[in-house]
Amino acid sequence: MGYAEFKAPKGLIKVEVELAGDQILRISISGDFFMYPEDALERFELALIGSRVDRKSLMERVENFFGSSGARTPMVEPEHWIEAILRAAGDKIT
Amino acid sequence: MRIDDAPMSMAIDEALLKLNSEGKSPNTVRFWRWLPSTVSIGCFQSAELEVDFDVAKKYGVEMVRRITGGGAVFHDHGGELTYSVVCGQDRMPDDIIESYELICGGLIGGFRQLGLQAEFKPINDVQVGGKKISGSAQTRRWGSVLQHGTVLVGPDVRLMFELLKVSPEKISDKFISSVYERVTTVALELGRKPGFDEVRGAMRDGFAGALGAELVEGELTQEELKLAGMLKPKYASDEWLKKR
């Protein structure tokens, strides 16, 4: 399991990730951010499973999720989630 | 003013939100204190990552998970006043930050009445002199909005930072001075610690102004208390606390 924290403009994002090769097998996101509706977080985690851990693949998944779900995370942008995930994945690799 | 334990405090807020959404409970502003002192964590936080369980046990501090996001908050029985606002979503802007700003306007009005120049800091903070004096968290469910938050009257700031997963090594004089750079309290700003009733009165007037509402004093209804009683076990459960 790789673990990392990333401080977005409003919200500390904490990610725990387990990889299978370069793909996300399991991911757990926690932190002091705000997400509306709150139950979107679990769906967000599910949506990330299977994604490769490169910036482009993650951006596609993240943007797709927010676009289709309508979930809102004030002052936390897609690139913040991606940075947190990449750091956690990097922790695993090293 | 009610003084409630952690599970009841959260259960009352959820009960008011649910009943308000069903048209069975009016739009409400309430104020209360916590006993025992408690750390509440945001619904997206991991309990173990945020709170030093050993320190909490040592000082008899309880823990509870909120249904709102945001960070870990220390509700010091001796120094913190908590507020919550429950109203229909039609009363609130759709934009999330705008709605926080509107409700926090009540706090700003209250601080002004106490003699303090307070400002809104997006998303969810109120500051005096650039330092945080209040934090809030909001959820929107079933067509209603619940926003609750803190008023730092005169809490034990040192204990706060000891509880919130900062290693004891960090509680050095240097760290404490940096803590005081980020956080302030009504007591620190006024040079005296006002009574809770005084703060409540100021905040009550602040909210009346900001919400454009006439506030009528009342107690929780039987229905509200009954639903809160049914919700309380959830908040008291280990399963809920350690959910994430």
Question: Cβ of B44 and A74 within 8 Å?
Answer: no
In the stretch 17-56 of chain A, residues with CB closer than 8 A to chain B read 28-38, 41
Closest-CA residue to B114 (of B31, B200, B29) = B200
How does residue B129 score in pLDDT terms, banded at 50, 70 and 90? Answer: very high
* Tokens 């750091």, residue located: A87
Of all residues in chain B, the percent with pLDDT exceeding 90 is 84
B182 part of contact set with chain A, CB < 8 Å: no
Residues from chain A contacting residue B69 (CB–CB below 8 Å): 32-35, 38
* Model pLDDT for residues B190-236, shown as the tens digit of each residue: 999 999 999 999 999 999 999 999 999 999 999 999 999 999 999 99
Question: Cβ of B69 and A30 within 8 Å?
Answer: no
Contact yes or no for B152/B133 (Cβ under 8 A) = yes
B124 part of contact set with chain A, CB < 8 Å: yes
Average pLDDT in chain A: 94
| Chain B residue whose CA is closest to A5 | B49
Count of domains observed in chain B: 1
Q: Compare CB distances from B123 to A31, A37, A74 and report the shortest one's residue.
A: A74
Q: pLDDT at residue B169 above 50?
A: no
- Count Cβ neighbours within 10 Å for each residue of A78-88 and write b for 16 or more, e otherwise: bebbbbbbbbb
Report d(CA B185, CA B141) in Å as an integer.
Answer: 31
- The average pLDDT across B78-99 equals 97
Which residue has better confidence, B63 or B173?
B63
Report d(CA A29, CA A19) in Å as an integer.
Answer: 15
Note down the domain range covering B128: 2-241
* Model pLDDT for residues B30-50, shown as the tens digit of each residue: 999 999 999 999 999 999 888
Question: Cβ of A38 and B138 within 8 Å?
Answer: no
Phi/psi at A10 (nearest 5 deg)?
Answer: -140, 90
* Model pLDDT for residues A51-63, shown as the tens digit of each residue: 999 999 999 999 9
Which residue has better confidence, A5 or B180?
A5
- β-strands A23-31, A11-20: how paired? antiparallel
Pick from A6, A12, A38 the residue to mutate for testing the B interface (most B CBs within 10 Å).
A38
Predicted model pTM: 0.94
Which CATH number goes with the domain that contains B29?
A: 3.30.930.10
Question: Cβ of A30 and B96 within 8 Å?
Answer: no
Output the six-digit token pair for B233.
């076990």
Residue B157: per-residue pLDDT: 84
ipTM summary value: 0.94
Query: Domains along chain A?
Result: 2-93 (3.30.390.50)
How does residue B171 score in pLDDT terms, banded at 50, 70 and 90? Answer: very low
B153 part of contact set with chain A, CB < 8 Å: no
Question: Cβ of B96 and A28 within 8 Å?
Answer: no
Which residue has better confidence, A27 or B157?
A27
Residue B182: per-residue pLDDT: 83
Q: pLDDT at residue A46 above 60?
A: yes
B208 part of contact set with chain A, CB < 8 Å: no
* Model pLDDT for residues B130-143, shown as the tens digit of each residue: 999 999 999 999 99
What is residue A18's three-state secondary structure? strand
Residues from chain B contacting residue A14 (CB–CB below 8 Å): 46, 49
Q: pLDDT at residue B94 above 70?
A: yes
Report d(CA B163, CA B54) in Å as an integer.
Answer: 9
Helix (H) or strand (E) holding A59: helix A55-69
How does residue B168 score in pLDDT terms, banded at 50, 70 and 90? Answer: very low
B138 part of contact set with chain A, CB < 8 Å: yes
B77 part of contact set with chain A, CB < 8 Å: no
- 3-state SS string over chain B? CEEECHHHHHHHHHHHHHHHHCCCCCCEEEEEEECCCEEEECCCCCHHHHCCHHHHHHHCCEEEECCCCCCCEEECCCCEEEEEEEEEHHHCCCCHHHHHHHHHHHHHHHHHHCCCCEEEECCCEEEECCEEEEEEEEEEECCEEEEEEEEECCCCHHHHHHHCCCCHHHCCHHHHHHHHHHECCHHHHHCCCCCHHHHHHHHHHHHHHHHCCCCCCCCCCHHHHHHHHHHHHHHHCHHHHCCC
Output the six-digit token pair for B61.
């501090």
Angle in degrees, 0-180, between the axes of helices B196-211 and B96-113, rounded to the nearest 10? 130
| Residue A56 vs residues A1, A51, B148, B206: alpha-carbon distances, Å | 22, 10, 38, 48
Residue B176: per-residue pLDDT: 57
